[in-house]
Amino acid sequence: MDSSARKRKKFWRFKTLNSSITPNHVGIIMDGNGRWAERNGLHRTKGHASGLKVTKAIVAHVARSPIQNLSLYTFSTENWTRTQEEVGALMDLIATHLKAQIPFYNDYGIRIVHSGSKLRLTHRITDDLAQIEEMTANNRHLTLNLLIDYSSQEEITRAMQRLIEQHLPITQENIERNLDQPSLPKIDCVIRTAGEKRLSNFMLWQSAYAEFIYTDTLWPDFTALDFDQAMEEYSHRHRTFGG
């Protein structure tokens, strides 16, 4: 058995002892691509390319686990304020990899959904997202929620606007039914890399009672073992939900 397999076995062995410690929905704020590139004497865009490879590896790892839902902060609405060169490189990475990963998603039983605004994205990206969502709709091992041009404040505002348009009362249940992905459960655990300790407009509503785990590791250096260690830390948390 190779070392990576041993690491996976070590982690998932303790999970089988008590299914209640398995998070149903994990969110990851993937931070540190630019800093990783600068520390390695590379252009920031190279950091995003390296981060993309790590993302695929982590998604594959999670798809082999009991976790059923994973939300990835891929591109925030605030990211539009970065340099035109960096934004262009990020959009190119997204555009070139969405459809290219369909065989990977199907092989691992991954269903793709999208959270965020589609108004500022190119037609190519929005068309690809629609096609990927349709082509992976029957996959059942893992729901992967890609947050692209995402702002939680905007998402909640969109939900409120839908309620007004439908002449519905403003209640917690109605707001939740009109979020971008109402079928997804609340987030149990949020992982943020690169040493930052803030939510940065990531799924504020859904993370109301999430457990937060921070690591100094930059995203391109994040491994399956790092993920497993985060889940082990989560397993020792005592969640009271305010009670």
Does 140 belong to an annotated binding site?
A: no
Does 198 belong to an annotated binding site?
A: yes
Catalytic residue among 2, 18, 31, 180: 31
Does 77 belong to an annotated binding site?
A: yes
For 57-210, strand residue ranges (E) read 69-76, 110-115, 142-150, 189-192
How far lies 39's CA from each of 29, 35, 86, 135, 237, in Å? 20, 6, 17, 39, 34
> Catalytic residue at 79?
yes
Does 142 belong to an annotated binding site?
A: no
Does 64 belong to an annotated binding site?
A: no
Does 65 belong to an annotated binding site?
A: no
Burial class, 85, CB count within 10 angstroms (exposed 0-12 / middle 13-18 / buried 19+) = exposed
Does 205 belong to an annotated binding site?
A: no
Going by C-beta distance under 8 Å and a sequence separation of 6 or more, which residues neighbour residue 101?
A: 56, 132
Report the SS3 class of residue 111.
strand
Catalytic residue among 24, 79, 106, 174: 79
Does 158 belong to an annotated binding site?
A: no
Which of these, 216, 62, 221, 215, lies nearest to 145 by C-alpha position?
62
Does 124 belong to an annotated binding site?
A: no
Does 204 belong to an annotated binding site?
A: no
> Catalytic residue at 174?
no
Residue 149 is classified by DSSP as E
User: For residue 74, which phi and psi values (nearest 5 degrees)?
Assistant: -85, -45
Q: Are 40 and 218 in contact (CB under 8 A)?
A: no
Binding residues for substrate: 32-36, 44, 48, 76-78, 80, 82, 192, 198-200
Binding residues: 31-36, 44, 48, 76-78, 80, 82, 192, 198-200, 211
Binding residues for Mg(2+): 31, 211
The residues annotated with a catalytic role in the active site are: 31, 79
